[in-house]
Structure formats: structure tokens, C-alpha cells
Structure 1
Amino acid sequence: MEEKSPSGVRIGPLANLDAKEYKCHALHSDDVVWREKNCYIDVWIELLHAHGLAPEAMLPFVIGIDFEEDQWTFCKPSHDDLYEIYGVMVNELTVWRPLLEHALEHMSRGSFIITEAPAFWLPDTASTDYRQNHTKTSIAFSHIDAVRQRMGYFHNAGHFFLSGEDFIQLFQLDASTHPVCLPLYAESVRFGHGPSVPADALRAASRTLWRKHLKRAPSSNPVLRFARRFALDLPAMREQGLAHYNAWAFATVRQLGAAFELAAQSLQWLGNGGEAECPVAAQAFMQIALDAKAMIFKGARAIMLNRPLDPLTGLEKSAASWETGLQALHKHFASK
């Protein structure tokens, strides 16, 4: 167990959460196709899970993602959806003083803080960015021990812990190191602020979200548009190299694959232990997730080894799966 501060007090609504014993949600298990989706949706999956709530219920929003010329829509749950089904209130935090001061004040009153952070100071990114790259990401504080400079936080697929220099640099406590610094974007999150849907009615509420977000789905096939743009950009990506490709792939192929795996998992959860709700759509969306996983590796090999790659052919099945899934969902929910 982590040591407590000399006063025996940690600040935060999950002050007793132990990073070493925490078990991540099944959406982040080792056997999923895309274990890490994006930093923001990953934080929400674990925040809800830590409160005993089913994160699958919020996921219908992913059906609205679109290809936006140089990226896929960055998946983020609607604050309205979070309030309506979980009773969670989310507001932007005005960072007008040091972030640590805001965090201690708000967390002592039961709120969480979700904030942008440099992965350079996050130990859970040891295999990628920790002490290597100042990549921007989102984390949620679970508890803070300001005396010992320790903090628990949700990030990516789990709950972690940092201290010492990482704490000092994350909160920019060493002013001489940061002579000029823009405030980070942050949100204040409070559970239990509004009426939440009872557990036995959560699936019905999630079906309502599916109907709502289906109306926001793209009117033309976004996978086909993406494949065409990929084919156009591939020669330039070969010249720019693997680092450029990896950044591009995160904003495109990963967002596509992770979003549709979440769509399939939401429909499976709606089946409540049996056959997935609208199994045709669930199967089609999982196929997109699998195809995207294969494509991200094919693209990397094409860049590194100058191998031939035809994105139009490679994504043809995914484009058909998108059509199949959308048609099946519209028919399914129209009949309910």
C-alpha cells in the first residue's frame, strides 16, 4: 500500500484508491483489439468504472465520428450525456492560479480534476514518452498528497502513481524551469451532482443515446473518403518517415479502429450477457476495428521498408462494414 502523508490525509474523492491493486475495466483488458483508445475517453472509462458505473452506456456517441480531412473525429463523450445518464457534472476549470492550488481546493470538496499534461512526467508512459517526449495527454487526479508530493492519477488503460520530480514538474512548482507557461486546459468533474439513471434502466437509457447519435452519423461513407485521402498522402508520408506516419496514424487509423471497437462493445453490453444488440452491426463494427489494426501495421511496413500499399483495396472491407452496420442500426432502432 502507498504511504499516507504525515497528517494521515490525502486530498481527493478516491483518496483510498491503491494504484497497485486497481483493476482496469474490461474495455482496457489485454484481449481487446485497441487497449488504448485516446487519452480522454480512456480517462472516462476508468473514472466511471472506479465509481461502479458501466462506461459502456455512454459509448453510442462514437457512431458519429467522421473523417475530417487530416484526422478522424477525436472521440469525446458529451457532457450532456454524462449528466443525463450518470448524474456527472463537468465544467471547464478557469486556471487563474497554480493548478495544484485549484486541485487541492476542488478535490477537497469532492470533485475530480481532468487536465492536459505532458506525458514526459507520467511514469506509466515509460515505454513511449516518459522522460523522452513532451506529448500532450489527458489525465484525471484521483488523490493528491501535497506534503509528500505524491499523486494518484487515471491515464490510458489504468490508474497510476507519481511522486518527486514528476510531481514538481507536472504542477510546475519549480518556477525557474518555467519562466513562461500557458495554463493547461482543465475540467472539474463532480459525481452525484444530478439524478443518475438506475442500474436496471441504464441499458434503456443507452438505447436512447444510440437513437440520438445515429442522427449525427456522417451522410456519406467516411471510410471510403479516408481511403482516398490515405492513397493521396502516402507518397509524401514515405518521404517524411516513420515519426510522421506514427503521428498521422494515431489521429486517423487508431481513432477509426478504437471508435468502432467501442461501438461493437457497447452493442454487446446492451445484449446483457446474451447475443449483442443488433448483432449484424456489432459484427460489422468489430471488423472495422480489426481491419484498422491490420492497416496500421501495413502502413508502417510500407513506410519503413518502402513496400507497396493500396489503401483503397485495404480499406474496402471496412467501408462496406460501415455501410452494413449503419443500415442495420437504423433498421433495428426504427423497429424498437
Structure 2
Amino acid sequence: MTALTENRSDAPAREFGGRPFGTGTLAVRGCESLTAADAPRSVLHDPAEPWSPTNCYMDVWIGLTAVLGLDPVPMLAAAFSADFLGDQWEFLKPRQEDIEELYGLMVGEYDTWRPLCEHLQCAMSRGDALIVEVDAYHLPDTEGVSYGMQHSKTSIVPLRLDPAAGELVYLHNDGVHVLSGADLDNTLGPGARSGMVPFPYVELVRLDGMHRLAPQELWRHGVELARAHVRRAPAESPARRLTAAIRDELPVIAERGMDYFHVYSFATTRQAGLTAGLAAHACRYLAEGAEQWPGDLGIMTLLEAAESLDTAAAAAKTLQFQLARVARGRTPRIDASAEAFVTGYDAGMAAVRRALGSGE
């Protein structure tokens, strides 16, 4: 592995004759005429949502399923098994096996042994999608946060590439955007080789087996996935362990200031809050299905769970604001919001277990 990396780094840059992306228009299947203006948008990316955008990986999956005409909500069952890892809340991702079961999309790591723009041509010419790790410094949709200001890794999905116009329509965060010129070159073209992510982590999403299940069948698969994730859920409250760790970290936040707060809160309160919010959406989806197709699910209990988890999501945002005050040298007053998060999260997860027949 080391030798391969060294060979890549030492190899001279390949000359592309000014056409690194070829000459023909490339698109993910179903996105041949897609524009940023007419791209479908999931309700999960409603600006009114307290944690939208969520995290870069969950966002591209919400966006990709939406543009493919699929319902992203069933895959949110992964939120039920989230855990606190000691120094950070688990970075929420839909599980690959869930995505394949629900949508027929096959996901796997993709080795970029050639220039990235060549792999992009290969995958998109088949109608497949790539989830690509890039530098947000070159993404115009991050203006005011990262664009031209700060180098940070994030994930995008190229949807439609027009080499003649020099434009790429791509998914990132909570929307569909356009990339062009030097930004395109430095993100996916030859310029990326000299940037922050010269050899990105890339996943291939194969669309040849994609299916659209009937609503009732999709819901039934969602129920079974939700039960499986509840069985994986940690026995000891991750919410309580998170808030205990935050209390221990308060002196460090106060000492290190706002730069530290931003990275710390992203790994803790933000991930916890978005997990609670997306779990609430999953609960409402399960409840709505149970009303249409009666069975053994507790509808009212699921709605109670959604309400508790929404409360937890809001409390996590309040807690994050209070941590910012600590970073600015203010007296920490986090007890009420920390306890509100714990109470809402634990009550919500207990209700989910009862509703799905998984006990207390």
C-alpha cells in the first residue's frame, strides 16, 4: 500500500490536452436533463428543519434518493442504533445493506488508480454515481463558511457534467449546485492532484439494480430495518454519556475558544441533534404506514417517540449555542438543555422499543 501511494505521488501529472472530462455530456441515470433549478428536494432538507443540512454523507444520500425518485425516509432507521463513542457522537450514515434492500442500489469503495476525471467518465457513462471526497474550499455553495476561506474534506455526488459548457451539476449538503471553471478543475480535474484531497476516498453507487418498491412493501422493509437497528442500539444511554462528556470538556472549550468549539460541537451536539431529528422522521413514517396497513405497531407510541426525539433535537441545538457562549468566556449554564436532551432522547428511544415490540 505504501509503495503504491508513493508511486502515485511521484508520478508526473498527465497531460489532458485541455479535455480532462472528455467531450460528451455525462449524467447519472435519470439525471440527463437535471438542472440545479429543477432538482427535486426532500422534505428532510426543508430549511425549517433544525439540523438541515445534516452531515455531508447523510445529505448526499438524502439528495441522491430524492433526485432518483426514491423515498429517503426509510433509510433513516439507522438513527435508532446510533451511539456515543467517548469523544464524539457516531457520524450517522445509512448502512449499505439497508440501501441495497430498500432501493436496489449497490454501494462499495471505488479504487481511484487513474486520474479522478477518468474514473468519473467511466462511471457516469454507465449511468452510475460516485460519492467523492473533495475540498470544500472550491465549492461555491459553501460561501461564507469554507469557499475560498478554509480547507476541509466533504462529500459530493456529481450528477450531470457538460464538458463543452465546463459545468458540473452536483449534490452537496442540502441542495443541488453548479460547479465550473477553476473550481471544477481543482475539485475533480487535474488540479485536484495538488490540493488537499489528491487521492480521495470514493464510493461507487451502481444503479443497474435499482428498484422502486410499492409503498406498502417499502414500508414493511422499513419496519424490519427499524427493528434490526433497535436491536443494535446501545444498552446504556448514549445521550447521558454524551452530556457527561460535555460537562468534563467545558474547561477545555473555555480555554481553547471558538475554533475548538466549532470542531467539537460538530462532532458532538450537531451529530447528536441531527440523529434525534432524523429518528423523529423515521418514527412518523412508521406511524403513517401503520395507519394505512394495520398490524402490530403502536401508532400513538411512535408519534409520542417522534415528539420526544424532536424535543431532543431542539435541546441539542440550545446546548450547542450554550457551548459557544462558554467558548467566548461566558459562565457555563448547560444543565437544563443537557437534561432536556437526555430526557427527550431516552424517552423517545424507549417509546420506539415499545412501539416496535422490542420492550423497554
Query: Please, what TM-score do these two structures have when normalized by structure 2?
Result: 0.86
Q: What residue is the counterpart of 1:290 in the other structure?
A: 314
Consecutive unaligned residues in structure 2, runs of 5 or more: 1-20, 292-298
Q: Distance in 1 between matches of 2:197 and 2:87?
A: 29
Q: Deviations over 1:120-145 (max 9, x none)?
A: 11110012100111111010110122
Q: What residue is the counterpart of 2:182 in the other structure?
A: 165
Q: What residue is the counterpart of 2:35 in the other structure?
A: 18
Change (3 A) 1:142 1:251: same
- Higher RCO, Cα 8 Å, sep 6+: 1
Q: Deviations over 1:13-37 (max 9, x none)?
A: 2121111222421111111111111
Residue 323 of structure 1 aligns with an amino acid whose one-letter code is D
Q: Distance in 1 between matches of 2:233 and 2:254?
A: 32
**Deviation for aligned residue 1:269:** 2.2
1:156 to 2:190 alignment: no
**Deviation for aligned residue 1:203:** 1.3
Residue 353 of structure 2 aligns with an amino acid whose one-letter code is H
**Deviation for aligned residue 1:210:** 0.9
Q: What residue is the counterpart of 1:302 in the other structure?
A: 326
Q: Deviations over 1:202-236 (max 9, x none)?
A: 11111111100001111111111111111111111
Q: What residue is the counterpart of 1:269 in the other structure?
A: 285
Change (3 A) 1:297 1:193: same
Single out whichever of 241-250 and 272-281 deviates more from structure 2.
Answer: 272-281
**Deviation for aligned residue 1:174:** 3.6
Q: Distance in 2 between matches of 1:280 and 1:180?
A: 45
Native 8 Å contact 2:305 2:351 kept in 1: yes
Could you say what secondary structure the match of 1:241 adopts? helix
Q: What residue is the counterpart of 1:225 in the other structure?
A: 241
Query: Please, what TM-score do these two structures have when normalized by structure 1?
Result: 0.92
Q: Distance in 1 between matches of 2:196 and 2:50?
A: 41
Residue 46 of structure 1 aligns with an amino acid whose one-letter code is G
Q: What residue is the counterpart of 1:278 in the other structure?
A: 302
Residue 68 of structure 2 aligns with an amino acid whose one-letter code is H
1:146 to 2:170 alignment: no
Native 8 Å contact 1:143 1:151 kept in 2: yes
Q: What residue is the counterpart of 1:323 in the other structure?
A: 346
Q: What residue is the counterpart of 2:223 in the other structure?
A: 207
Native 8 Å contact 1:19 1:160 kept in 2: yes
Change (3 A) 1:72 1:335: closer
Q: What residue is the counterpart of 2:205 in the other structure?
A: 189
Q: What residue is the counterpart of 1:131 in the other structure?
A: 148
Size of the aligned set, in residue pairs, is 330
Residue 185 of structure 1 aligns with an amino acid whose one-letter code is Y
Could you say what secondary structure the match of 1:130 adopts? coil
Q: Deviations over 1:154-209 (max 9, x none)?
A: 0000101100000111124148x729964100011122415553233211111111
Percentage of pairs with the same residue: 33
Could you say what secondary structure the match of 1:215 adopts? helix
Q: Distance in 1 between matches of 2:301 and 2:111?
A: 41
Residue 231 of structure 1 aligns with an amino acid whose one-letter code is R
Consecutive unaligned residues in structure 1, runs of 5 or more: none
Q: What residue is the counterpart of 2:267 in the other structure?
A: 251
Q: Deviations over 1:233-264 (max 9, x none)?
A: 11111111101101110111010000110010
